């Protein structure tokens, strides 16, 4: 029996990675009618998933080094963690708008320094509810 796994023909395709970040925050959704429970102050353990893609890999075989996403963690920890989101964000803090806002932060601040391209940001507010914002790029 050989000591090596067999050689295979490597298929063409695209690579996708994801990394999860978490933070705790309070919010309310001030635009909701007064009888809606989510108009009241409450909190979530937010999970944010950042999804990046590339057709080719940087050494040693990365779309983007997961460690290169650390500035996003620093941003979340400094600006969002243990805060009232409706007080610190320039948007109404629904999951959908938070996903779009975080995608904008990544495109402005992180994407220029990493090889991968942002595909989407998912925001999980609860174990059962989440929203995803998909970045639409102009046709090249």
Ligand X SMILES: Nc1nc2c(c(=O)[nH]1)N=C([C@H](O)[C@H](O)COP(=O)(O)OP(=O)(O)OP(=O)(O)O)CN2
Annotated binding site for Zn(2+): 27, 42, 44
Q: Cα 1 from chain centroid?
A: 45
Bind-site residues: 27, 42, 44
Q: How far is the CB of 128 from ligand X (least distance, A)?
A: 6
Catalytic residue among 36, 38, 70, 79: 38
Catalytic, 82? Answer: yes
Q: How far is the CB of 36 from ligand X (least distance, A)?
A: 8
Please tell me the distance from the alpha carbon of residue 105 to that of residue 71, in angstroms, as a whole number: 11
Cα–Cα–Cα angle for 132, 134, 138, nearest 5°?
165
Catalytic, 12? Answer: no
Cβ proximity to ligand X: between 54 and 94 the closer is: 94
Catalytic, 122? Answer: no
User: What are the residues binding ligand X (CB under 6 A)?
Assistant: 38, 42, 94-96, 125-126, 129, 131
CB 117 within 8 A of CB 123: no
Please tell me the distance from the alpha carbon of residue 132 to that of residue 117, in angstroms, as a whole number: 16
Active site residues per annotation: 38, 82, 125
């Amino acid at each position: 029996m050989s000591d090596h796994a067999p050689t295979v023909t490597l298929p063409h395709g695209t690579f996708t990675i994801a990394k999860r970040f978490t933070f705790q925050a309070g919010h309310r959704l001030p635009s909701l009618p007064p009888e809606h429970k989510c108009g009241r102050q409450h909190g979530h353990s937010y999970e944010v998933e950042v999804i990046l893609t590339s057709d080719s890999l940087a050494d040693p075989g990365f779309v983007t080094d997961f460690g290169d996403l650390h500035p996003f963690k620093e941003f979340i920890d400094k600006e969002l963690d243990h805060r009232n989101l409706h007080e610190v964000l320039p948007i109404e803090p629904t999951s959908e708008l938070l996903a779009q806002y975080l995608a904008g932060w990544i495109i402005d601040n992180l994407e220029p320094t990493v090889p991968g391209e942002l595909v989407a940001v998912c925001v999980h507010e609860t174990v059962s509810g989440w929203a995803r914002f998909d970045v639409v790029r102009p046709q090249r």
